[in-house]
Amino acid sequence: MARLKASKWTALIGAILFLAIVWRWAMRLAEREEELYDDSKDVWRRNRPPA
């Protein structure tokens, strides 16, 4: 029973670490995309309806 509880906590910690790594990777990718589309901001603004 103790082994089952330990494996549950291990899985929980592993899932949290995995989500944190994926979140950081997604944020880094979003920053990189912003840098790529920095030159064509006027195009994006033109295509977007006025706020």
Euclidean distance between CA atoms 9 and 17, whole angstroms: 12
Confidence at residue 26, expressed as pLDDT on a 0 to 100 scale: 87
User: Widest CA span of the chain, in angstroms?
Assistant: 61
| Single pTM value for the model | 0.48
Tokens read off for 7: 């494996």
Q: According to the model, what pLDDT value does residue 47 have?
A: 61
Render pLDDT for 16-36 as a digit per residue (tens, 0 to 9): 999 999 999 988 887 776 665
